[in-house]
Homo-oligomer: A and B are copies of this chain.
Amino acid sequence: MHALLELADVTADVLARIKARAPRVHCITNTVAQAYTANVLLAAGAVPSMTISPEEIAAFAGGADALLVNLGTFDAERRAAIDLALGAVGQGGQGPKPWVLDPVFIERSPARAELARALLGRGPTVVRLNAREFAALADEEAGGDAVARLAAARKVVVALTGEVDRVSDGARAAKIANGDAMMGLVTGMGCAGSALVAAALTVENDAFIAAIAALVALGVAGEVAAEGASAPGRFASWIIDALYNLDRATLRARTRVS
């Protein structure tokens, strides 16, 4: 694996490759987060699409380079769309296209948690979630060992985000100390982070590294934004701009992965 010390450069490389290749990321996501997620992807250089229509989602997902499956605004139409999209990307990650599972708010709804567990069995490349969602999915509290256990048991890269992000593929583990508390005050930020992981997966085959790169990029962008915008309204725009302008020198100065 890459030494953790090199991760600033790895992140810069991943961002450069996204800008160069303009990968298509199809997002099945909630209506609350759609516009913000699309704008984060555009700022990073990816091309978002968002339809969930059963008549055309297979065409969109099949033509995309990666897929995001976010469970926010869970409903029957959404579940059908997920099925069709996973079919189109290669039956749950067994095919060539990566996909990210974001089990939003599963701690609030048993029906949603059940769907998340079923989807975890279909082989997402990465699952990104917060501590409450982790506890609902893994039946144990979040923490470094628990993250590695879930990753090993389900053969998935787990990306747990919070004050410190934890990423593990079961064999390897990383802690990311980047980010800013303001990120929790912008709706859709977690969803947008998951979409950025999906974009990173299109240019970096090592999913553990891709997840770290995406979370480092968003976290460092958050830190840069917070220096100019100290309240969440303007911060929401500034972090997009910081991501758009993120350069290697800034990443080298700020990346904190251990």
Contacts and interface: CB of A to CB of B under 8 A. Distances in A.
Interface stretch (A8-16, A56-64, A119-127, A152-160): A56-64
A102 to B, nearest CB: 14
A43 B231 contact: yes
A111 interface: yes
Number of copies: 3
A50 B108 CA distance: 12
A109 B56 contact: yes
A244 B235 CA distance: 12
A236 B234 contact: no
Contact of A231 (B63, B74, B185, B240): B240
A112 B35 contact: no
Contact of A188 (B35, B52, B109, B110): B35
A238 interface: yes
A4 B74 CA distance: 44
Given A34-B32, A232-B43, A240-B231, A73 B49 contact: no
B233 A238 contact: yes
Contacts of A53: 73-76, 78, 111
Given A42-B186, A55-B75, 16 more contacts: A31-B31, A32-B50, A33-B35, A39-B185, A39-B186, A39-B233, A51-B73, A51-B105, A53-B78, A56-B74, A59-B108, A59-B109, A59-B110, A59-B111, A233-B238, A233-B240
Nearest first, the 6 closest Cβ-Cβ pairs linking A and B are A233-B240, A231-B241, A233-B237, A38-B187, A56-B109, A53-B75
